[in-house]
């Protein structure tokens, strides 16, 4: 995994070197970006020596022999390659630019260009930190899903005392582990995830399906794998590549998905049904293409297998999680499904919003649990939603769901 560390101009910039080293010890590849002001406090050579990589210090190369096109699009290449952006220390200036969408250097342009999660660790004078403008900017970033590691209180370089010191490296690393799901709190679990749509053939050319990109299920598989679980991904047709380390079982129809789930069910300790299984299939499938005619065509449909209900009847001490994709009455509809299906947790997915849900990299969900949990999450990247769901798996295990993992 690769993270970008943005270093901005403050006295605590030197602490970023320790942060980079700790990130590397976690097995992460680190790319450092420095603002012009940061270079007044610590030299790029320090980070180059630590990372073994070029430190990005400006938007465009000053060397005429380098291709302009290469330097012009470098921020896009970095934006697409990273799994996380960390800005530490984050000055009042860079926080204001991020909040307002100003992109006047490499770091702020990278922030706008990346879809990876973002962590900021502010550091500044206490009066600057407590100023209403800074607090409004912080709140705006939080609303956009940026993770904020609050500054520590204490004696500051300016001689004042109060909040404004860069948070400890340990606190920043802890947030990184939380956001990326680097904790091994699912070690020993066997997590079975279903993802994507199923297709039910009408003829050799046409089929019935549900809309699904598979992104949420694949994010769940990736997050579970990172957190130490053995992960099995039963996937309908998608354009996605399976996360490294997961065991992929490709299927097409609801019947094939049912067979795969039931085959792996005895070994699984956690089952997450994120697939959009087609609810109906044609009673008859023709062997030849149905020719178009200028008259109505009638199809007789029959319901497909209810895989979720079938596995819940034999769940024993397994944790079973379902999804409810809704366009209205989100919580009420999901709560009814939670009760009817006897689930441990259901993810109520609001797919009516244009900027989240199906085909998007983001989701806006509410988590409902059999223990009374009702947790409304803001619009988050699907990998972040996945980790929130897995956090509840850990909570369920620690509060009574203590069944031992099956042998593998």
Express each pLDDT in 140-154 by its tens digit: 999 888 999 999 877
Phi, psi of 394 (to 5 degrees): -60, -40
- To the query of whether residue 370 is one of the catalytic residues in this protein, the response is no
Spatial separation of the C-alpha atoms in residues 23 and 18, rounded to whole Å: 9
CA distances (Å), origin 354, targets 115, 358, 359, 362, 364:
17, 9, 10, 10, 11
Express each pLDDT in 259-289 by its tens digit: 999 999 999 999 999 999 999 999 999 999 9
Indicate the pLDDT class of residue 158, thresholds 50, 70 and 90.
low
pLDDT of residue 360: 84
In 3-state terms, the chain is what percent helix, strand and coil (to 5)?
A: 35, 25, 40
User: DSSP state, 165?
Assistant: E
Structural domain boundaries in the chain = 2-180, 190-398
CATH class assigned to 2-180: alpha beta
Spatial separation of the C-alpha atoms in residues 79 and 35, rounded to whole Å: 17
List 158, 290, 332, 336, catalytic entry: 158
Kindly report whether the peptide bond that precedes residue 89 is cis, defined as omega within 30 degrees of 0: yes
Indicate the pLDDT class of residue 325, thresholds 50, 70 and 90.
confident
Spatial separation of the C-alpha atoms in residues 75 and 164, rounded to whole Å: 29
Is it the case that residue 69 has pLDDT exceeding 80?
no
Indicate the pLDDT class of residue 163, thresholds 50, 70 and 90.
confident
Instruction: Decide whether 2-180 matches 190-398 in CATH topology.
Output: yes
Q: Is the pLDDT higher at 91 or at 406?
A: 91
Indicate the pLDDT class of residue 183, thresholds 50, 70 and 90.
confident
Give the domain 190-398 fold: Rossmann fold (3.40.50)
Is it the case that residue 330 has pLDDT exceeding 60?
yes
Q: What is the mean pLDDT of residues 318-342?
A: 91
Is it the case that residue 406 has pLDDT exceeding 50?
no
pTM value?
0.75
Residues ≥6 apart with Cβ < 8 Å to 323: 216, 273, 274, 346, 347, 349
Spatial separation of the C-alpha atoms in residues 183 and 180, rounded to whole Å: 8
Mean pLDDT across the chain, nearest whole number?
A: 89
Q: What is the mean pLDDT of residues 350-378?
A: 84
């Amino acid at each position: 995994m690769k993270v970008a560390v943005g270093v901005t101009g403050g006295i605590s910039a030197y602490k970023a070197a320790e942060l980079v080293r700790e990130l590397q010890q976690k097995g992460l590849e680190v790319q450092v970006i420095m603002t012009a002001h940061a270079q007044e406090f610590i030299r790029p050579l320090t980070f180059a020596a630590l990372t073994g990589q070029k430190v990005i210090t400006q938007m465009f190369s000053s060397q005429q022999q380098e291709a302009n096109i290469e330097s012009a699009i470098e921020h896009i290449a970095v934006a697409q390659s990273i799994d996380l952006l960390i800005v530490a220390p984050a000055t009042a200036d860079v926080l204001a630019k991020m909040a307002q969408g100003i992109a006047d250097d490499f770091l702020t342009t990278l922030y706008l260009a990346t879809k990876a999660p973002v962590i900021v660790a502010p550091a500044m004078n206490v009066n600057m930190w407590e100023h209403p403008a800074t607090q409004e900017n912080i709140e705006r970033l939080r609303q956009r899903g940026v993770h904020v590691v609050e500054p520590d209180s204490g004696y500051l370089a300016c001689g004042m005392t109060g909040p404004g010191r860069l948070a400890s490296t340990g606190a920043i690393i802890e947030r990184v582990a939380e956001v990326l799901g680097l904790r091994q709190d699912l070690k020993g679990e066997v997590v079975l995830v279903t993802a994507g749509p199923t297709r039910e053939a009408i003829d050799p050319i046409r089929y019935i399906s549900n809309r699904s990109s598979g992104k949420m299920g694949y994010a769940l598989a990736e997050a579970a794998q990172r957190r130490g679980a053995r992960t099995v991904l039963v996937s309908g047709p998608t354009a996605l590549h399976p996360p490294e380390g997961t065991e992929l079982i490709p299927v097409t129809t609801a019947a094939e998905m049912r067979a795969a789930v039931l085959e792996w069910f005895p070994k699984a300790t956690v089952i997450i049904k994120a697939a959009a299984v087609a609810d109906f299939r044609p009673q008859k499938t023709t062997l030849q293409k149905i020719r178009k005619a200028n008259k109505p065509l009638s199809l007789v449909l029959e319901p497909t297998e209810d895989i979720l209900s079938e596995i819940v009847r034999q769940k024993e001490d397994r944790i079973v999680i379902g999804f409810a994709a809704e366009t209205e009455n989100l919580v009420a509809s999901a709560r009814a499904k939670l009760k009817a299906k006897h689930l441990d947790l259901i993810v109520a997915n609001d797919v009516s919003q244009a900027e989240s849900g199906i085909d998007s990299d983001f989701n806006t969900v509410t988590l409902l649990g059999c223990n009374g949990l009702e947790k409304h999450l803001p619009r988050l990247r699907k990998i972040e939603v996945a980790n929130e769901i897995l956090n509840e798996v850990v909570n369920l295990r620690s509060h009574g769901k203590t069944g031992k993992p099956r042998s593998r």
